[in-house]
Each structure stands twice: as structure tokens, then as C-alpha cells.
Structure 1
């Protein structure tokens, strides 16, 4: 196997693994507070303040998941919104459009 093919396969594998990780576990620990949700105060080191980056949850949305959410939003907006998935929703839409009397 040539080095170019090996590098390509390794890159594809790494991107796929990261995509699956973002799908299965969309949240990671906050790097600012190390997952505790609190940071030491500016002047009084013993006083803990809530972390502003993660809003005191200790969890942050991964970059890959954030990119996926953005692309999904763009796709929904350009395709005209979400389609009704249940039979009741389809009937309701037909009634409001005047298709059923």
C-alpha cells in the first residue's frame, strides 16, 4: 500500500470515528472548568463562580456536532421546512390547505 493511500484511509477512518463520536456523545467536558462547572473567583480564590463558557453545566457541545446542527438547520431552511411525519399531521395540513372538506 502506498503512503498516499494509507494516509487517505487513515484520514477517512479518523473523520468517520469523530463523526460517530459526535453523533453518539454530542457533549464533551468543558475545557475551561475541566467539567466541574465552576471556576475560582478573580480575587478570592476560595470563592467558586459558575463557569461562563459552559453555563455551570460542565458540558460543551462538540465542534463536530455544532457543525452538524448548523448544516442540518441550513438544509431544513432551504428545503422548505420539515415534512409532517404522522398521518394526523398530514390530514391536518390537508384540511388547513382546503384539500379535505
Structure 2
């Protein structure tokens, strides 16, 4: 792994480890890491309900209207991002 990439991964793991102790609602917790010659593996807790794309495709949100989606998805997402921003953490990869 290139040194720059190694430093970026190390920084991300340090932040995720620190966040794990805070137990912020809506933030997926890092359970552990492992490393081999060229890869670093991050293990996260399982998220109930799967991902948003699958939920929407399966009809969980479609047809319920914009207000329902905002209340169930956008509002909680923005709340979590506000919590992270208050800790001077900016999320670069929102899925």
C-alpha cells in the first residue's frame, strides 16, 4: 500500500475507533480491523433493514411521498451529519 494511502486509512481507522466509544445514534460502529500485505479490512456492525437503495427499490419508501421520505431518511441523516460536524468530522462518502 502506498504511504499516502496507508496514512489516509490509518487516519480513518483512528477516527472510527474514537467514534466507536462515543456511540452516536446513527453512526455505524467499527468492530475491528485486520491487515494483510496490500489490504486493510474494516469490520462494521450489521445494520438492520439493509441499505437505502434496497429499501426504496423494495417499496419501503416509494409511493409514500416526499414528506415521508424526508421524515424517515433525510431528517435523521442530517441530524447525524450535524453531530459529526459538531465534532469537526466531515463525512466524504455518504451512501
Larger Rg: 1
Fold shared, TM-score > 0.5 on shorter chain:
no
Which category describes the TM-score, using the shorter chain as reference length?
Answer: under 0.3
The TM-score, its normalising length taken from structure 2, stands at: 0.28
